[in-house]
Amino acid sequence: MVGRFSRMVVAMTVRMPRWFVGWVSRRYVAGPKLDDAVKVMKRLSKEGACFTIDVLGEDITSMEEATFFLEEYKRVITAISENNFDANLSIKPTAFGLLLDSEIGMDNIEALVSMANEHQMFVRLDMEDHRVTDDTIQVMLDMHEKGLTNVGVVLQARLFRTIEDIQSIAQKLGKDADYRICKGIYLEPEEISHTDRQPIIKATNDCVDAMLDAGAYVGIASHDHPVINHTLEALSKRKMGPNIPDPRPNAGKPRPQKGPGYEFQMLLGVRGPLRRKLCSKGHRTRVYIPYGEKWYEYSIRRLKENPTIGTQVAKAFLMPWTNRP
């Protein structure tokens, strides 16, 4: 019943005028400009949050667009540094031209990662659908081979392959392995992924355990109570927690702007009370802040690719007081 209602909300929302989609998305998107993201970071910094910034953009069709993303992210690095924000970057390799011209695309990514490294800033490679999973992981490995270890990857728990990817990456990178684990926004084919809620939750929990046991740094990107609760129990079993030096013998040294081996990550505008609760208990909490002129395309894509978001949209519309950003 909930799933049917959520899909109905999504179906109605995507047919609404652009202004209505904008009204809904303003909760989840900082705005069209970098200044909008800066304002949000200034506000949420007062709550003890840290951030990862994403410049929105759909599939690019020219290398001129790739140049735009490179230059815009350079502006983001400058803004973060000038305001002394506790923030890092999230980028999509395809936005830098990886699928149009792999050599130039890699040069663009390396240029950005190098600049971020100079500012002791971390870069997270966002994961797109399964068609670019191998390419995205390879970009990270190539950066590490060049000595740029300030880069990590997102893995999607719903994919059957993810546990093997965790083990493979950990074997290659050792203490430098750094993951964000999420359920995955893309509704992948059932031949290669879990498609029901409970198997996805279990897969996510299994991935958290595997990452922690590998000694990796783990960003738990979930708003689901079963995943949060499992993670808290998993941390306790490993004697990990707020203000405790990472006790795992296979873990690396403390990293700039990182937690003691882990952190919780949440989308802007989603489960704000839960984020603040975790933060009040001393856990490092990071807010994913998207901005950009492509806010409309981003909003529609997320709605279409994951109709379960519909329940959150309805709740924000009907009961905004229950989920303050």
Q: What is the per-residue pLDDT for 318?
A: 46
**Quick check: 317 and 24 in contact, CB under 8 A?**
yes
Q: What is the per-residue pLDDT for 307?
A: 52
Q: What is the per-residue pLDDT for 272?
A: 87
Tell how far CA 33 is from the center of its chain.
20
Q: What is the per-residue pLDDT for 256?
A: 82
Q: What is each CA distance from 197 to 158, 200, 209, 270, 305, in whole angstroms?
A: 9, 5, 19, 18, 15
Nearest-5° angle of CA 317, CA 319, CA 323? 100
Amino acid at the residue 209: D
Q: What is the per-residue pLDDT for 27?
A: 72
Q: Which domains does the chain have, with CATH numbers?
A: 30-291 (3.20.20.220)
| DSSP at 16 | S
Q: What is the per-residue pLDDT for 186?
A: 72
* Nearest Cα to Cα of residue 156 among 117, 202, 203: 203
Q: SS3 sequence, 258-269?
A: CCCCEEEEEECC
Two tokens at 248? Answer: 């795992």
Q: What is the per-residue pLDDT for 299?
A: 62
H/E element, 110:
helix 102-118
Q: How far is residue 113's CA from residue 149's CA, in Å, rounded to a whole number?
A: 9
φ and ψ at residue 181, rounded to 5 degrees? -110, 130
**Quick check: 312 and 269 in contact, CB under 8 A?**
no
Which sign, positive or negative, has the C-alpha torsion 277, 279, 311, 43? positive
Q: How far is residue 132's CA from residue 155's CA, in Å, rounded to a whole number?
A: 12
* Nearest Cα to Cα of residue 264 among 291, 248, 238, 282: 282
Q: How far is residue 288's CA from residue 272's CA, in Å, rounded to a whole number?
A: 12
Q: How far is residue 122's CA from residue 90's CA, in Å, rounded to a whole number?
A: 9
Q: What is the per-residue pLDDT for 131?
A: 85
Q: How far is residue 288's CA from residue 303's CA, in Å, rounded to a whole number?
A: 17
The pTM assigned to this predicted structure is 0.88
Supply the DSSP string of 118-142, one letter for each residue.
HTT--EEE----GGGHHHHHHHHHH
- Regions of the chain with pLDDT less than 50: 1-2, 318, 321-323
